[in-house]
Structure 1
Amino acid sequence: MANYAKNIMFQGTSSHVGKSVLSAALIRALRDRGFRVAPFKAQNMALNSAVAVEGGEIGRAQAFQAEAAGLKPSVHMNPVLLKPTGDSMSQVIIHGKPVGMMTAAEYHAFKKEALGHVRESYSKLALDYDVIVIEGAGSPAEVNLRENDIANMGMAGAVGSPVVLIGDIDRGGVFASLVGTLELLSMEEREMVKGFIINKFRGDIGLLKPGLDFLEARTGKGVLGVVPSFSGLLIPDEDSVSLDERGASKEGGGLKIAVVKLPRLSNFTDFDPFRGDPGIELSFISSPREMAGAGLVIIPGTKSTIADLMWMKSRGFGPAIREHIEKGGMIAGICGGLQMLGTAVKDPQGVESSAGEAEGFGLVDAVTVLHREKKTFEVSAVARLMGRDYEVRGYEIHMGETIVKGGPFSRILERNGKTCYAPDGAASQDGMVWGTYVHGIFDNDVFRQAVVSALSGGRCGSGTVASFESVRERAIDSLASIFEDSVDMERVLRIIGV
């Protein structure tokens, strides 16, 4: 494998130890030093995805890491994406395009073929950049998954990358996790591990010193740094485990926005912009009673529209949504949420299930027919809200077509850089019910301001939303500063070899 760029790989003792965030922090720190740096994750499992510059689909974490590097996301930054469907199957996406549904056993057998695609993507990036920051997946110590591994030590060995092992002290047992992970690696793999980072620390670091001394004496490997636990930065998560934290309300009251926490929810980062706005109380809800007091209720994207539609109905969301509208509230649907707003969702090919068809909420005159072909586009559009037009940018990721009687919610003017003119979404006549296939629509400050103003009457904080791009950029800079203040960067640079 061609290996022209220098590299470093962050692996973890388990999932959710902070590999993605710390990778982004290092990427920004390296970029600030003048290096051309790119992210890479061979295999990612996530429902939260993004559209790459080539038009394909990759993990949201790699898109965020690309942003930290000042780059457009590419399918080569995440050549293998697995999107679980909830029925012991995953949709396998190679270089941004779906290649089929596989069980765990089927994918395990497919790994040898997947490795070829991984090699191709890494080699391409290695030719174009100075440093590749590689992120592992889960833990390298999953002994049952070691054969044909392409995500952790198998990847590090293939490209000759030094490894830094990350542990999450907030969970407890971090020293056992780090030592135990190292013990389960082969002798050759242990040699690849150049040090540890302890993440999410709270309290007096002086009290941690005996543990750090023990770890270094026991393993012969250094602790590169202890990163403190932090909050309040507008940083996207890849998985829904932290949705309750993401929806923490701001003090002082204001406009309440409720997002339905669907069992198969995807692309929940659509709502991150509201987290940076003054006076917005954002929450993720699981029952109709939690809609009380909300000005806007959003039905988000989902990996299985029909199943999550039935879940909402079983919970009594249907009558609650109609009552919400009668009281002057707004309902919005994004992607799968749009599909649910219509009169029916049809699945004649069994794309999602054998259910065949489900009756929608009937809030807009639209019917959705699911298809096997997935559409992935970066788009520019003009959306119409409350009688005014707004230019918006975003991306589409969906399987199916929604046929609308009457006017659409928006007009797509460009897909993947090519001019087009396509209707998108649907809306009620008064504009208080609307849906779109455009993910990231709330990233557009002017449109988001229009939604907030329509519902708050100027009572939402200062009445002005924050610049999402500026808030996000400041968050990445702050993240890099925290990393550099906590980690011995000179040792990290020596490990990379720059």
Structure 2
Amino acid sequence: MPAKSIMIQGTASDVGKSMICTALCRIFSDDGLKVVPFKSQNMALNSFVTEDGGEIGRAQGVQAEAARVVATTHMNPILLKPKQDMVSEVIVHGKHFLNMDAKSYRNQFVQQAMPIVEESVRTLQNTYDVIVLEGAGSPAEINLKDRDIANMRMAHLADAAVVLVADIDRGGVFASIIGTLALLDDAERARVKGLIINKFRGMRELLDDGIEWVERETGIPVLGVVPYVDVNIEAEDSLALSALRFKKPKPGEFSVDVAMIRLPRISNFTDVDPFFDEPEVGVRLIGNVAELGTPDLLIVPGTKSTMDDLAWLKAQGFAQAIASLRARGTKIIGICGGFQMLGEVLLDPEAVEGNGDSAHGLGLLPIETVFVGDKKTVQMSGVRGNDTLTGYEIHLGRTNILRDEVSPFLQLADGRVDGAVSADEQVIGTYFHGLFHNRTFTRQLVNEIRQSKGLAPLPLEVKSDAERREDAYNMLASHVRANLNMEKIYEMLKIEVHG
């Protein structure tokens, strides 16, 4: 029997669709069902690498883990990664397909995409008990609906019961629900079987009159009011860069000051997330040189366009500022595109990054990067000292060490080496995404900085990242289950759960 399908759509972007989907994946799995996440088309700056080297949206990788299944590209067959203004990299079944501007994508590729996503839906329907589909943005964008393959068209294809999520934290929750439903046609509206009010803060009883009115006017039940919760699960897009966890600490508020540069085309910025869990560590997001100060650790993150963001760094005065920080003893770590920028020369003979120009890097590591057309996407592990670290690579370009004044950062399990480390170990460059999610490594790094400042080291006994993620999935599932009418959801899906 084909899988039952539930689709979580939203009244807008960033209403919490991904979190609700993640919670449902864990709840259904806890209840003994074989469940799988699905998003036909995802636009995300953060991505996930599957075991076979495919690149999908990070949210679907997280949801697969919550569902206790191995992530595959069928869970997100089309991924768009913003590259330049109005241009995105189109990734099909985990592999680079082409770069395309928004107009060409809508006019030329969308219809071509439908057989691709349909094949994935049918594959999942024949393998799992339940599919948890995630929409994108809003299903009521009337200027885009004729080419929207991420919302109601997917609901029809999968014969999914749609649950509409609205964010009360941003205000106007009842208007957003009524407005969204009003812009759906009859067949689309008939698919909406329930409503969720998300990110609630305050007194629950104050909502009762509004909920009763909405249910009476629409005939659609409110399945739950989910209180706001700060759960430590990775985000997938740049909206998360405005999260409250990035603050502007007062001088001396934290013992260790970590700063990450907010590149215009930043990607995989969740690399920095583990520092939020470190005691007495402040994490700042830096958009200009005036905000830089003198951090203990500066992170130059990944980017979707190394050459453009390198030019931006120089124009903003970051090149000189970073060199000054290096001289003053700040530890500097460049990841992926940030690693490439730390080098001496960047060459683009095939015009992979743009018009084929070359550029001088920041000159902090004696390395040369040559951009080539084939994209490296792979899960990886490597050894540094006595520690084995796990992570993943997603990058264009091949980097070579020019002089032996630096050493490789990691000895990889496949025989290659990765990265470069200066002789004084103050500058590190690596292609290793997920580096700081190796929690013992991160604690050791924090301790090195603490000891350099005359502070006592913190204990090395820390929970692993896998343990932390499991805790987060279980906490989120418990929180959502307690505030949703799961009995109604199972009734809507015509699924009987025993026990």
Change (3 A) 1:373 1:227: same
Partner residue in 2 for 1:117: 116
User: 1:280 and 1:473 mapped to 2: Cα distance?
Assistant: 23
Work out whether residues 42 and 136 of structure 2, in 8 Å CA contact, stay in contact via their aligned partners in 1: yes
Matches within 5 A, 1:37-52: 37-52=35-50
Alpha-carbon offset, residue 287 of structure 1: 2.3
Q: 2:5 aligns with which of 4, 7, 20?
A: 7
Does structure 1 residue 425 correspond to structure 2 residue 419? yes
Partner residue in 1 for 2:394: 397
Share of identical aligned residues, percent? Answer: 47
The DSSP-based 3-state class of the residue aligned with 2:416 is strand
Partner residue in 1 for 2:445: 451
**TM-score, normalised by the number of residues in structure 2:** 0.93
Change (3 A) 1:389 1:343: farther
Partner residue in 2 for 1:462: 458
User: 1:375 and 1:461 mapped to 2: Cα distance?
Assistant: 37
User: 2:329 and 2:293 mapped to 1: Cα distance?
Assistant: 12
Partner residue in 2 for 1:79: 77
Matches within 5 A, 1:326-337: 326-337=327-338
Cα distance per residue 1:120-145 (max 9 Å; x no partner): 21222222221111001111111222
Cα distance per residue 1:45-65 (max 9 Å; x no partner): 111111012211000111111
Work out whether residues 278 and 466 of structure 1, in 8 Å CA contact, stay in contact via their aligned partners in 2: no
Matches within 5 A, 1:357-396: 357-383=358-384, 388-396=385-393
Alpha-carbon offset, residue 333 of structure 1: 0.4
Alpha-carbon offset, residue 87 of structure 1: 2.4
User: 1:395 and 1:176 mapped to 2: Cα distance?
Assistant: 43
User: 1:286 and 1:148 mapped to 2: Cα distance?
Assistant: 35
Alpha-carbon offset, residue 4 of structure 1: 1.2
Matches within 5 A, 1:18-417: 18-108=16-106, 109-231=108-230, 233-244=231-242, 245-248=244-247, 253-354=254-355, 356-383=357-384, 388-405=385-402, 406=404, 408-414=407-413
Alpha-carbon offset, residue 463 of structure 1: 4.3
The DSSP-based 3-state class of the residue aligned with 2:126 is helix
Q: 1:482 aligns with which of 468, 476, 479?
A: 479
Work out whether residues 452 and 460 of structure 1, in 8 Å CA contact, stay in contact via their aligned partners in 2: no
User: 2:245 and 2:407 mapped to 1: Cα distance?
Assistant: 31
- Which amino acid is 2:3 matched to? A
User: 2:474 and 2:124 mapped to 1: Cα distance?
Assistant: 24
The DSSP-based 3-state class of the residue aligned with 2:14 is coil
Alpha-carbon offset, residue 197 of structure 1: 0.3
Alpha-carbon offset, residue 246 of structure 1: 3.1
Q: Calculate the aligned-residue CA RMSD, in Å.
A: 1.8
Deviates more, 1:450-459 or 1:158-167: 450-459
User: 1:321 and 1:314 mapped to 2: Cα distance?
Assistant: 13
The DSSP-based 3-state class of the residue aligned with 1:246 is coil
Alpha-carbon offset, residue 460 of structure 1: 6.9
- Which amino acid is 2:219 matched to? G
The DSSP-based 3-state class of the residue aligned with 2:377 is strand
Alpha-carbon offset, residue 82 of structure 1: 0.6
- Which amino acid is 2:455 matched to? R
Alpha-carbon offset, residue 226 of structure 1: 0.7
Work out whether residues 279 and 461 of structure 1, in 8 Å CA contact, stay in contact via their aligned partners in 2: no
Q: Which runs of 4+ in 1 moved over 4 A?
A: 249-252
Work out whether residues 55 and 91 of structure 2, in 8 Å CA contact, stay in contact via their aligned partners in 1: yes
Alpha-carbon offset, residue 336 of structure 1: 0.2
User: 1:293 and 1:475 mapped to 2: Cα distance?
Assistant: 33
Partner residue in 1 for 2:435: 441
The DSSP-based 3-state class of the residue aligned with 1:421 is coil
User: 1:247 and 1:185 mapped to 2: Cα distance?
Assistant: 37
**TM-score, normalised by the number of residues in structure 1:** 0.94
Work out whether residues 278 and 460 of structure 1, in 8 Å CA contact, stay in contact via their aligned partners in 2: no
Alpha-carbon offset, residue 293 of structure 1: 4.2
User: Which runs of 5 or more structure 2 residues have no equivalent in the other structure?
Assistant: none
- Which amino acid is 1:462 matched to? L
The DSSP-based 3-state class of the residue aligned with 1:55 is coil
Alpha-carbon offset, residue 389 of structure 1: 4.8
The DSSP-based 3-state class of the residue aligned with 1:442 is helix
Work out whether residues 165 and 197 of structure 1, in 8 Å CA contact, stay in contact via their aligned partners in 2: yes
Cα distance per residue 1:214-242 (max 9 Å; x no partner): 111111111001111122x2111111223
The DSSP-based 3-state class of the residue aligned with 1:102 is strand
Work out whether residues 254 and 460 of structure 1, in 8 Å CA contact, stay in contact via their aligned partners in 2: no
- Which amino acid is 1:304 matched to? S
Alpha-carbon offset, residue 489 of structure 1: 1.0
- Which amino acid is 2:92 matched to? I
Alpha-carbon offset, residue 86 of structure 1: 2.3
- Which amino acid is 1:269 matched to? T
Alpha-carbon offset, residue 470 of structure 1: 2.1
Q: How many residues align?
A: 486
User: 1:462 and 1:497 mapped to 2: Cα distance?
Assistant: 52
- Which amino acid is 2:466 matched to? E
User: 1:242 and 1:170 mapped to 2: Cα distance?
Assistant: 15
- Which amino acid is 1:426 matched to? A
Work out whether residues 40 and 150 of structure 2, in 8 Å CA contact, stay in contact via their aligned partners in 1: yes
- Which amino acid is 1:216 matched to? E
User: 1:389 and 1:323 mapped to 2: Cα distance?
Assistant: 32
- Which amino acid is 1:480 matched to? A
Alpha-carbon offset, residue 467 of structure 1: 3.0
User: Which runs of 5 or more structure 1 residues have no equivalent in the other structure?
Assistant: 415-419
Cα distance per residue 1:293-334 (max 9 Å; x no partner): 421100000001111111112222122212222222200000
Alpha-carbon offset, residue 445 of structure 1: 2.0
The DSSP-based 3-state class of the residue aligned with 1:492 is helix
User: 1:254 and 1:409 mapped to 2: Cα distance?
Assistant: 30
User: 1:182 and 1:461 mapped to 2: Cα distance?
Assistant: 56
User: 1:278 and 1:497 mapped to 2: Cα distance?
Assistant: 47
Deviates more, 1:437-446 or 1:401-410: 401-410
- Which amino acid is 2:378 matched to? F
User: 1:336 and 1:96 mapped to 2: Cα distance?
Assistant: 20
User: 1:471 and 1:150 mapped to 2: Cα distance?
Assistant: 34
Partner residue in 2 for 1:417: none
- Which amino acid is 2:479 matched to? I
